[in-house]
Structure 1
Amino acid sequence: MTTPNFQKFFKPLLEIASDDNEHSTKEAKEILIKKMGLTPEDLQEKVRGGSMTKVDNRIWWAKSYFVKAQVFSSPRRGVFKITQRGKDLLALNHQEITKKDLEKYPEFIDFSKNKKNKADDQNMDDHQSDNSIDKETPEELLENAYEEIRNQLANDLLNIIKNNSYEFFENLVVDLMVKMGYGGSRSDAGKSIGKIGDEGIDGIIKEDKLGLDVIYLQAKKWEGTIGRPEIQKFVGALHGKRAKKGVFITTGKYTKTAFDYVKNIEAKVILIDGGDLVNYMIDYGLGVSSSVIYEIKKIDTDYFLED
């Protein structure tokens, strides 16, 4: 018997949560083993090229999809609880719940598809959508899967950052700048100055290994949108330091007026929002590690050439 695909876990997992209590993924796994009749062989099967079991992997994805579709809420890390939307979905009494059932929720669509795909989908009928997978090459399918995994990782990273302290975030910003090649080693490249800083400066980083110039940092944990006034305060702090370069990093977003403002000032100020932040972390290997690596090979035609 092979491990059921991850969509097979959807309905049983939703049924577990139907008691309206909070559940941990560890607790859910023990129930699912009995509920789905998973065998010892199923529990031993690993994802290809990785150390995680397929059962753990599929429970994790099922729970993550439900959270993104707001079928589950996630009160804290590793814990889930059914929402009213989840109760309504279960009340439909589907024989099986699939990813397609989640695609009626706008929050899930926003999570799973990039803007280009959204625009394309508006011009597709249901039949085309159902068969779109047949129109993609294996490479395209792999690339789409990679993007979905990366998007999930980016979402998880941002949530973890928001749940950590301001001090942690300020240090993270300096660490990221070092990873991106500024200043050399972490020990002497830059520092977080936190509460002892003044005028809105949270960190300092050398632009190069010799420290010929210094870049000032502002780290702002923010849920909403940052506008021009906050950026003007930072630019004022730069003027106070006679500095011409700064990086403003937030877990939130910026308004258009904030971007327009930095384009028209003498100081060079870079704005990095929450989405950019976690993507830089993934690209430069900060706070993440490789789980599975797939190597795609092609025929070396030169090898088969005969003289």
Structure 2
Amino acid sequence: MTIPKHQYFRWPLICLVGDGEIYKLKDCITPISDVLKLSDDQRREKLPLSNRTRVYDRTYWAKKHLSVSGLLEDVNGGGFRISEEGKRVLKQNLIHIDDKYLEQFQGYLDFMRKSGKSNHPRSNKATTNYKDQEKVISALMAYSPKNFEDFILDLLSEVGYGVSSDSVKKTTPKPEIMEIDGFIELDPLGIEKSKLYV
């Protein structure tokens, strides 16, 4: 049986943190897995080439989308809690929080626009024509290997990967090689990382 997409993790997550207490992401994995009735095999399933479980990944993205929508708020130390807006949503007794529902929140639209995934008129996403694309490609082709790597890692940070703007980092630089070699810190202490290599 396939593990549900992260959209189905949103409502169980906001219900879990609805008491107003501060939570860490790792503490939400088991309760949400219980609500979704995931099997032991599903809970242990890992992403390809990663030690990160698929359930953790789904929970991470559920939390990310709820946070950018203003329904959760981060606190010091890597924790988070429900926001006042989140409490209002919780009172609606929803069954599911899908993408369409989150489009009422400007923060979500802005996040999706940055990641290039939004066609909503309120996202103010400019239409890109082929001439614009050619200019971008030409500019990227003129980058040095180092600048190209910096650009890609900055782009990943900008669209929401990692726990902060400086959590997408490079490994030992290889200035003459056109490659992307780095990692994303998935928690504030940098204990859990996801490797990047192209």
Shift of 1:74: 0.8
Residue type of the alignment partner of 1:41: D
For 2:98 and 2:166, the matched residues in 1 are separated by: 26
For 2:117 and 2:95, the matched residues in 1 are separated by: 29
Task: Go from structure 1 to structure 2 and tell me whether the alpha carbon gap of 1:98 and 1:116 turns closer, same or farther (over 3 Å shift).
Answer: closer
The answer as to 2:195 corresponding to 1:291 is yes
Structure 2 stretches of 5 or more lacking a match? 123-154, 185-192
Q: Give the structure with the higher percent helix.
A: 1
- Helix, strand or coil for the counterpart of 1:2? coil
The alignment's C-alpha RMSD in Å is 3.6
- Taking the TM superposition and a 5 Å limit, the aligned residue runs for 1:62-81 are 62-81=62-81
Indicate the percent of aligned positions where both proteins have the same amino acid. 21
Deviations 1:112-136 (A, max 9, x none): 2139876x6429xxxxxxxxxxxxx
Match of 2:17 in 1: 17
Q: TM-score of the superposition, structure 2-length normalised? A: 0.63
The answer as to 2:90 corresponding to 1:83 is no
Rg larger for: 1
For 2:88 and 2:158, the matched residues in 1 are separated by: 30
Contact 2:72 2:82 in 1 (8 A): yes
Contact 1:112 1:148 in 2 (8 A): no
Contact 2:17 2:82 in 1 (8 A): yes
Deviations 1:197-225 (A, max 9, x none): xxxxxxxxxxxxxxxxxxxxxxxxxxxxx
Match of 2:160 in 1: 152
For 2:196 and 2:117, the matched residues in 1 are separated by: 26
For 1:33 and 1:116, the matched residues in 2 are separated by: 30
Q: TM-score of the superposition, structure 1-length normalised? A: 0.43
- Helix, strand or coil for the counterpart of 1:74? strand
Task: Go from structure 1 to structure 2 and tell me whether the alpha carbon gap of 1:21 and 1:157 turns closer, same or farther (over 3 Å shift).
Answer: closer
Contact 1:180 1:284 in 2 (8 A): no
- Helix, strand or coil for the counterpart of 1:89? helix
Match of 2:45 in 1: 45
Residue type of the alignment partner of 1:81: R
For 2:157 and 2:47, the matched residues in 1 are separated by: 14
For 1:159 and 1:102, the matched residues in 2 are separated by: 27
Shift of 1:75: 0.1
For 2:117 and 2:4, the matched residues in 1 are separated by: 28
Task: Go from structure 1 to structure 2 and tell me whether the alpha carbon gap of 1:47 and 1:21 turns closer, same or farther (over 3 Å shift).
Answer: same
Structure 1 stretches of 5 or more lacking a match? 124-146, 162-171, 182-282, 295-307
Contact 1:3 1:45 in 2 (8 A): no
Shift of 1:100: 2.0
Contact 1:49 1:293 in 2 (8 A): no
Q: Could you say which structure has the greater relative contact order, defined with CA pairs below 8 angstroms and 6 or more residues apart?
A: 2
Deviations 1:63-114 (A, max 9, x none): 1111111110010354110001111112222221112221211111111213
- Taking the TM superposition and a 5 Å limit, the aligned residue runs for 1:145-294 are 151-153=159-161, 156-158=163-165, 179=173, 181=175, 285=181, 288=184, 291=195
For 2:77 and 2:47, the matched residues in 1 are separated by: 23
Match of 1:218 in 2: none
Match of 2:26 in 1: 26
Deviations 1:218-277 (A, max 9, x none): xxxxxxxxxxxxxxxxxxxxxxxxxxxxxxxxxxxxxxxxxxxxxxxxxxxxxxxxxxxx
Task: Go from structure 1 to structure 2 and tell me whether the alpha carbon gap of 1:286 and 1:26 turns closer, same or farther (over 3 Å shift).
Answer: closer
- Helix, strand or coil for the counterpart of 1:291? strand
Contact 2:70 2:85 in 1 (8 A): yes
